[in-house]
Chain A
């Protein structure tokens, strides 16, 4: 894949500027309909989710006090994993988006919510709400595309270090909350700056993050295990909490990958968003997101990010409404002949992983490789990996020529 602006067949070539603005007007109308009917039902919904999550977390932690008994360990760990996922996704993520600010309840408000995650909500809101949601899928601007450490697009030059990308991605998935914290801190960029030149702002934020991490760790790995000592469950509870965090990390990472990584989701050029109109902004969100199809449980456990398209169009609408407006949004895609990207979770996860593996290799390598030419392809990959930039460039140029010739011959 490549940024939309450089594609030979653009999926939006058939839209006139008027069409794009009409799409914007229709989407504004869908948004207004929800705003006009927002009320007690929605408030009841989020309060119920919050209350359920709190009882689930309390109950699970209580069961884990006796986690030396295997059934208690399994039940408590499963409950705590679900509680943590609910807290991060349907509750934390959505409240911090301001989806529930309209209730004017200071306890359920984007300016006061703190979530069960390593990154302080203040920093996460900045990198997620301000950067990712504004610059969705703009290569070089939206660091969510690969969290700044991965090759997510053919246009990014291949380097042998990207061969490790599937492994990093897996490690990042396991420790996702710390990955997010590091990413919110722009840790990579800041660590490259000599210590004495780092900004005061960075130092303050790093301190806040460390404090949050210390608290989180004390809770999960000291206090609750210690409370389990009377039943001899210190280590089992510690393991349970670690497992719940791991499950939460893997799950959230998978869901988030599904949102923007699956094959067929578009990326955009930096230049393309200069002076973007509201219609164009909407269009970018439509093409840059992918949904997960599934039942009510899937939607709840993904924090309704299974409606990633609807969420990106209207990040501040209450999450329980995404399912309701999805058919209207989908009809709009059909009307303007656009691809509404939706597939079940396993398929989207597989697709995202496929893309990560494909891009970890030189352009075209994975597609060109079959059982017959595998030895030759491996030899080529070896040469590209060990041969230095000049060798790489030569081979890349030869490949491009060969692909061009093949295309011309086919035509």
Chain B
């Protein structure tokens, strides 16, 4: 045996010994107590700081676990936080390029009445441990130099600021233009309800002052709501540019239509997840592709069984939890007290949300991981 082979077989034996000593738990369950960010742990991060950006937005700097694989500016991550004791998952764009200290950051705007964003902006304390999924998304820049237009609305500035900070790092001497990065020609069309609500406005202005970008700011309260017919006026060389847009669905839809008819290239990133409105009944889908209609008053367990699907079950009255299955997507209503559970893939844990099928009925189309 070679030396490394000896070493790996020895470490494998040590791992097995540790497992035998901690069963039915895993060594990881104990290591998590003291080193939750170690290599091999589930992906987590510790909140390093929370810095307010505007009245209702803040940047969270995170120290990710050792296994964080990095990201490309413009990508987002999914973060899992416990709000009122319940694990919630949401997506946030990364607002820095790769940093020297290995930290990452997200900038969150508190959506009024939202579950997670107000908590992140106003209540998160440094030191809090959060859960992560690896960076994802293909809202990223081309590698060769291009003429670009960024259209950002509201908190849609976040992925763009991540890209810009990566292209033009701020050093002690001001905004730098490192060689080795593609020399894009960039226009940023920034749309916001009003000037004070604009996240990262100071950064955009500094970039403009340094000659890195041309900034076109449009505030609803000063200029009126943006009309895309004016776009060519605001950006005269629009036809030569590739557009990257991030903002509310309405703006993106309009932009898509506009660019399609003009035959212009467009990349978009939408923040608002597909909203699931609970209703009465829906179609119940199973993992193997089968589906069946479910009314709003019959438990999913019964609906599935009468369609011939073998389902786990026990008491059939909500007591034993023998019927729990993950709901990947959809909405269900607890027949005992009317409580609604909605699940959409961007705002729930990767495997879905486990529900009791014996006391929940469809409140919309439902996808069961079964």
Contact = CB atoms under 8 A, between A and B. Distances in A.
B85 A43 contact: yes
Interface in B326-370: 336-337, 339, 348-349, 351, 353-354, 356
A274 interface: no
B260 interface: no
A51 B22 CA distance: 15
Interface stretch (B139-147, B226-234, B312-320): B312-320
Interface in B278-324: 314-315, 317-322, 324
A98 B358 CA distance: 14
A291 B244 CA distance: 65
Contacts, number: 108
Interface residues of B, number: 34
Contacts of A227: 21
Interface in A86-108: 96-98, 101-107
B87 A105 contact: yes
Contact of B320 (A55, A129, A215): A129
A364 interface: no
A328 B256 CA distance: 59
A17 B83 CA distance: 42
Contacts of B17: 223
Interface of chain B, helix or strand or loop or mixed?
Answer: loop
Interface of chain A, helix or strand or loop or mixed?
Answer: helix
A111 B354 contact: yes
B24 interface: yes
B319 A134 contact: yes
Interface string A129-148: 11001100000000000000
Nearest to A40: B85
Given A35-B337, A54-B30, A104 B86 contact: yes
Contacts of B314: 126, 129-130, 134
A337 to B, nearest CB: 26
B20 interface: yes
A109 B354 contact: yes
Contacts of B22: 219
B21 A224 contact: yes
A386 B24 CA distance: 48
Interface residues of A, number: 48
B345 to A, nearest CB: 15
A388 B315 CA distance: 41
Contacts of A51: 33
A41 B30 CA distance: 23
A275 B353 CA distance: 32
Interface string B83-108: 01111100000000000000000000
Interface of A: 28, 32, 35, 38-44, 51, 54-55, 58, 96-98, 101-107, 109-111, 114-116, 125-126, 129-130, 133-134, 212, 215-216, 218-219, 222-224, 227, 281, 315-316
Q: 9 closest Cβ contacts across the A-B interface?
A: A43-B85, A130-B314, A98-B321, A129-B320, A114-B24, A39-B84, A104-B87, A134-B315, A130-B320
Given A54-B30, A114-B25, A212-B24, 6 more contacts: A43-B82, A54-B33, A103-B82, A105-B82, A134-B319, A281-B317
11 contacts: A43-B85, A96-B321, A103-B87, A114-B24, A130-B314, A133-B315, A134-B314, A216-B23, A218-B20, A219-B23, A281-B317
